[in-house]
Every structure is written in C-alpha cells, then in structure tokens.
C-alpha cells in the first residue's frame, strides 16, 4: 500500500522546502468542510498533505475546529499516517519550553465536541488503550531529533476544552494526576483517527509551564508565540525528514491501527441506519 503522510498543525508549517507539485485542494466531507483547504504535494517521493488545524489566519477556536471533517478529509485523500504537531504547556520541570514531547497517552477533559463518527444507527467501540501509534511515533521522534530538537520519548497529555488557560488550582490538580503536558486540540483528533483506521502520532511543542510553576508565573500568550516561532524551523525540518524515515510504502501497522474497526461495529447489519452507513463509508468502507 502506498504511503501518504498527513500533517495537522499550525498555519506556518506548510512552507516546506522541497515540496513538489504543491497546491491547495478544497474538499467537502459528509461531516462538512475541514478547517481549511489542504496543501498537498510530494516530498522525497512520498505524497504529503498539510491541514492547518485552526485554518489560515487562526479562525477556529479549539472547540470549533471541525475535527470529524478534518480526519475524514485526510482519509478521503488517501492519507495513511497522521502526524499532529501542536503547542502545549508543561507540568514537569524537566520538560522545558522549547522541548518537544512525543505524546503516548491522553486524559480527555473536553466536553463540547463531537467525538465519534459513529452514532445511533451504527454503533462502534474502538480501543483507545494505546491512543497513538508507537511505530509512527518512533520515526517521528527520530525525525525531530535529527532536526535538532530535544525530544522527550513519552508524555501524558491532558486535553482541556479551552479556550481559556488553566487556573492555578486546575494546573496543580492535573500535575498531581500524573499529567505531563496540557493542550486543547489532540482530542478528539486522536479518537477520530483511530476510528478512521489511521496511524496517528502526536508531537507536542512545549511553550510554557502552564500556571503551576511559581517561578514562571501565569501563561503569557506573547511568550507562547515567541517560543512557537523559535520552534517552527525545527518543526519544518522534522516534517522534511519524515518521508526518508517512513519510506514510500505503508506496511500493515504492527499495532493494529489500520484494523481498529475489525470487531468494533456492534449494530447488526439489518438494524443499521442506511444514511449513516453511507456517510461512514468515507472512513470505514473496509468493514462496511
């Protein structure tokens, strides 16, 4: 199976040197329009699609990002591997602003978002015990290291609703829960990628210490933006290094990401809602 890499990240990351046949593609999905057009091309002989998560100009809040449409659009294009690049705050002294974290676990505290493609009329339950693809993540971490980033090999990500930042009490509570970083966008993105049978890996770029750290004060958006700008070159170099590490062929995922729906659909075929099934064929045609 031919590989296609999908990148979901900040608007400035799509300016990647060496991307050939680059163009913007407008897509519509059964779940509406994605955050923006997708910037597609070929990098190192591997097809690649970039999707600005918040839209160019940052027009979507974390709660209004059309997560289902974003993942569906990537699946429709033929993406096999999804790489999430996002900003986060840190709950750990050793995970400092400017560092990258390869996220491997989530605590989902979001509440105002549609979190599944499935619904009444076609019910499915996928496993989220291991919500990211360790196989893809290992290559992503090495690509980031080759770009000069300090990468922490694992991290528990607290997904908050936002758009406000945490109170001091909340920040200390999440830290006490064993969370390592906090962000607003990786959920339900990771859940939907699993339902779409896509390998998904998350690279979080630390911009601040949230609000728990007495020596650093509260979150300052100007400092966040300055740190993000500092990280953007390493993020672009990380993306540029991925095709060579991953290669042009997508072999069966050893962790089962590409067969996540194998036994997940619970609704009997004769009881399924035909209209919903038709929509679901966009992301689940293999099992429908």
Q: How many CB atoms are located within 10 Å of the residue 8 CB?
A: 28
Residue 272's CATH number: 3.40.50.1580
Buried b (16+ CB within 10 A) or exposed e, 201-215: bbbbbbbbbbbbbee
Higher-scoring residue by pLDDT: 2, 232: 2
pLDDT in tens, 66-115: 999 999 999 999 999 999 999 999 999 999 999 999 999 999 999 999 99
**What pLDDT sits at residue 220?**
65
Alpha helices (runs of H) in the chain, residue ranges in sequence order = 67-77, 134-146, 168-176, 189-195, 221-246, 274-284
What sign does the dihedral 181-113-163-12 (CA atoms) show?
positive
180 is catalytic: no
pLDDT in tens, 164-197: 999 999 999 999 999 999 999 999 999 999 999 9
Q: Return the structure tokens found at 104.
A: 């491997």
- What is the average pLDDT value for the chain, to the nearest integer? 94
Contacts of residue 233, defined as CB under 8 A and 6 or more positions apart, other chains included, come to: none
For the chain, the domain total comes to 1
Burial class of residue 178 (count of CB atoms within 10 Å of its CB; 0-12, 13-18, 19+): exposed
- Residue 61's pLDDT band, with cuts at 50, 70 and 90, is very high
On whether the CB atoms of residues 122 and 273 are closer than 8 A, the answer is yes
Higher-scoring residue by pLDDT: 175, 18: 175
Q: Which of 81, 99, 108, 208 is catalytic?
A: 208
210 is catalytic: yes
pLDDT at 207 over 80: yes
| Candidate from 118-122, 202-206, 207-211, 237-241 with smallest mean pLDDT | 207-211
Find, among 49, 153, 170, the residue nearest to 94 by Cα: 153
- Residue 155's pLDDT band, with cuts at 50, 70 and 90, is very high
pLDDT in tens, 223-262: 767 776 778 889 999 999 999 999 999 999 999 999 999 9
CA distance 57 to 264: 38
Q: Which of 99, 108, 210, 258 is catalytic?
A: 210
Instruction: Provide the residue range defining the domain that includes 192.
Output: 5-284
CA distance 62 to 69: 14
What sign does the dihedral 117-120-125-130 (CA atoms) show?
positive
As beta bridge partners, residue 86 has 204
């Amino acid at each position: 199976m031919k590989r296609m890499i999908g990148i979901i990240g900040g608007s400035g990351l799509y300016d990647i040197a060496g991307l050939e046949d680059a163009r913007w593609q407008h897509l519509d999905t059964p779940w509406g329009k994605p955050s923006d057009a997708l910037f597609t091309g070929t990098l190192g002989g591997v097809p690649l699609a970039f999707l600005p998560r918040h839209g160019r100009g940052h027009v979507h809040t974390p709660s209004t990002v059309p997560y289902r449409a974003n993942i569906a659009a990537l699946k429709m294009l033929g993406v096999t591997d999804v790489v999430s690049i996002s900003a986060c705050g840190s709950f750990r002294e050793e995970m400092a602003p400017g560092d990258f974290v390869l996220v491997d676990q989530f605590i989902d505290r979001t509440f105002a978002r549609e979190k599944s493609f499935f619904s009444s009329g076609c019910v499915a339950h996928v496993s989220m015990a291991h919500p990211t693809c360790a196989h893809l993540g290992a290559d992503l971490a090495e690509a980031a290291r080759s770009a000069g980033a300090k990468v922490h090999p694992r991290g528990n990500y607290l997904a908050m609703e936002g758009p406000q930042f945490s109170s001091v009490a909340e920040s200390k509570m999440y830290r006490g829960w064993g969370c390592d970083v906090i962000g607003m966008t990786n959920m339900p993105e990771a859940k939907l990628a699993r339902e779409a049978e896509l390998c998904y890996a998350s690279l979080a770029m630390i911009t601040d210490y949230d609000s728990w750290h007495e020596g650093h004060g509260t979150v300052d958006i100007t400092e966040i933006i300055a740190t993000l700008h500092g990280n953007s070159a390493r993020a672009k170099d990380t993306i540029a290094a991925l095709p060579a590490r991953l290669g042009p062929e997508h072999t069966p995922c050893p962790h089962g990401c590409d067969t996540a729906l194998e036994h997940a659909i619970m609704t009997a075929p004769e009881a399924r809602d035909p209209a919903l099934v038709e929509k679901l064929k966009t992301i689940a045609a293999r099992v429908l």
